[in-house]
Structure 1
């Protein structure tokens, strides 16, 4: 897209982030964020952004969506929006529209992230192989992951719907929690725990186990109380949440053999960053039996950049 202007959009279950792109780079001064609930359709949100930006001419658009990408019509998993490339192209004045999974865009952004936006969670004394597979994992409204592979043909991304795999538990107590998360659902998926709603339900379960009525706290409020140490039940929920996170990313590290490192992202993950250095997270991450030494050699970082996926979209223009 050299010399031409385009639109990058990262559309999650709660927020839509947009920016203009020129010469393959996001124009940072054009970045904007909208709440999905304020618009009936993605076309309305994009049209509002374009109006605010002075109706720029966009010849192409790359839109990252929190949903499986299959064909030209996409339905979101955690929001009622649907996407049609032709309809969005018309809003953009006939632009070519490409859809990506939101974690595919995040994976493509990894080589564009400023080093200071990556905070070390867990380091390793072992040297990381250049060109080794990297993994980006995030928990927010939902949960997912993507692997970034590098070979002589360049960079390639492997995506999935990791949040909808079944949540693994290891203790009798966790089994009882799993049953609570699975109620009226048939099973408990990873996303049932590792999301904002999951943190809320883990907190509810801990309250009920203590014979307490859960307060009407949002996930952000639970995280804040856990971080401050002001509420023991919130803190217990946070520690269980990061235990599940450590276990899941350790499993994904084995699945993808992500020896190049793991990057964590997502609003809930960032809100519980304090607990990522605690034993609950690190022990669960490394506890992989005969492959414990392998997983223990994988560095983990936290991405402190809520707009990184826009750079990944720009990379695909």
Structure 2
């Protein structure tokens, strides 16, 4: 009998749970829970398993919206802590693997079909298979997950790119439009996050014309950042944007502004290019948890 895996995607507001076999998420097992109704993750876990898998599971993979340090983790926006060893004991010895939510999306990327993605910049040819990808999460905060898919195995690197200083070309373009107010945006996350999005929006008129002008300008900023990321990480298999800010902006008319700016040739005459996608699948992190290799 194939081993049954529990996949979990734990955010600050909601927790999604599902079961997987042979690396594939079983879609009809996915359920979502409001975190505020529970004292902690184990309470959510127990309620789900009582009905979905009363016989237990063989292994567990949990994506967490917060820092993961080895076998421990914590949520950024809720006082929930995770200890893989304690969770394993709670589950009768089932091995537990903790990973950051962006790393889970990175694990999912090679397995996401066209129906799960919005293609902003199409690949020049078939960009599937092995190679380098990059997940960029722009929501409450900002971070990246560099992804290497080689020999049938997906590996994701840990980075803290949101705290990197804002690239010079992005900072100069921002200052050209909002002047001295640009000084408050010191890091990538200061600008590319929910609070950064709102702060830049406040520099434009509060009407439809102001909204359109702001979205176009912010799309230019995002394209500059994305071009820096292409050079830094060479994600020939694609940049995958995730998060509410990225999804909203690239679904607006500003999408065309982003695309035109992103397609401009690089100074390096090397033919560097990368397709760009937006992850639309709310179960993508669960699919990554289903696919990731768990140490038993």
- Give the shorter-chain TM-score range: 0.7 to 0.9
* CA-CA distance at 1:292 after TM superposition: 7.8
2:267 is paired with a residue of what secondary structure? helix
Paired with 2:221 and 2:7, the residues of 1 have a C-alpha distance of: 33
Q: Is the 8 A contact 2:131 2:150 kept in 1?
A: no
Aligned to 2:161: 162
* CA-CA distance at 1:54 after TM superposition: 5.6
Paired with 2:196 and 2:36, the residues of 1 have a C-alpha distance of: 20
1:247 aligns with 2:224: yes
Paired with 1:159 and 1:292, the residues of 2 have a C-alpha distance of: 30
- Structure 1 unmatched ranges of 5 or more: 182-187, 213-229
Distance 1:152 1:113, change over 3 A: closer
2:131 is paired with a residue of what secondary structure? coil
Deviates more, 1:79-88 or 1:123-132: 123-132
Aligned to 2:239: 262
Selected match of 1:190 from 184, 188, 198? 188
Q: Is the 8 A contact 1:8 1:314 kept in 2?
A: yes
Q: Is the 8 A contact 2:134 2:235 kept in 1?
A: yes
Q: Is the 8 A contact 1:195 1:268 kept in 2?
A: yes
Aligned to 1:202: 200
Paired with 2:178 and 2:66, the residues of 1 have a C-alpha distance of: 29
Aligned to 2:255: 277
Paired with 2:99 and 2:146, the residues of 1 have a C-alpha distance of: 14
| 1:186-224, Cα deviation, whole Å (9 max, x unpaired) | xx3322332233322222343xxx5x7xxxxxxxxxxxx
1:309 aligns with 2:285: yes
| 1:80-109, Cα deviation, whole Å (9 max, x unpaired) | 322111333344343211111212211111
Q: Is the 8 A contact 1:194 1:244 kept in 2?
A: no
Matches within 5 A, 1:286-305: 286=263, 289-291=266-268, 294-295=271-272, 297-305=273-281
Matches within 5 A, 1:1-317: 3-53=2-52, 55-123=54-122, 125=124, 128=127, 131-152=130-151, 154-168=153-167, 169-171=171-173, 172=175, 173-174=177-178, 176-181=180-185, 188-206=186-204, 231-272=208-249, 273-275=251-253, 277-279=255-257, 281-286=258-263, 289-291=266-268, 294-295=271-272, 297-316=273-292, 317=294
Paired with 1:127 and 1:30, the residues of 2 have a C-alpha distance of: 32
Paired with 2:61 and 2:226, the residues of 1 have a C-alpha distance of: 28
Q: RMSD over aligned Cα, in angstroms?
A: 2.9
| 1:224-266, Cα deviation, whole Å (9 max, x unpaired) | xxxxxx7333334433433332222221211111112222222
Size of the aligned set, in residue pairs, is 287
2:68 is paired with a residue of what secondary structure? coil
1:312 is paired with a residue of what secondary structure? helix
Deviates more, 1:170-179 or 1:257-266: 170-179
Paired with 2:211 and 2:44, the residues of 1 have a C-alpha distance of: 35
- When the two structures are superposed, what TM-score results if normalisation uses the length of structure 2? 0.83
* CA-CA distance at 1:290 after TM superposition: 1.1
* CA-CA distance at 1:305 after TM superposition: 0.5
Distance 1:294 1:103, change over 3 A: farther
Q: Is the 8 A contact 1:199 1:238 kept in 2?
A: no
Distance 1:276 1:238, change over 3 A: closer
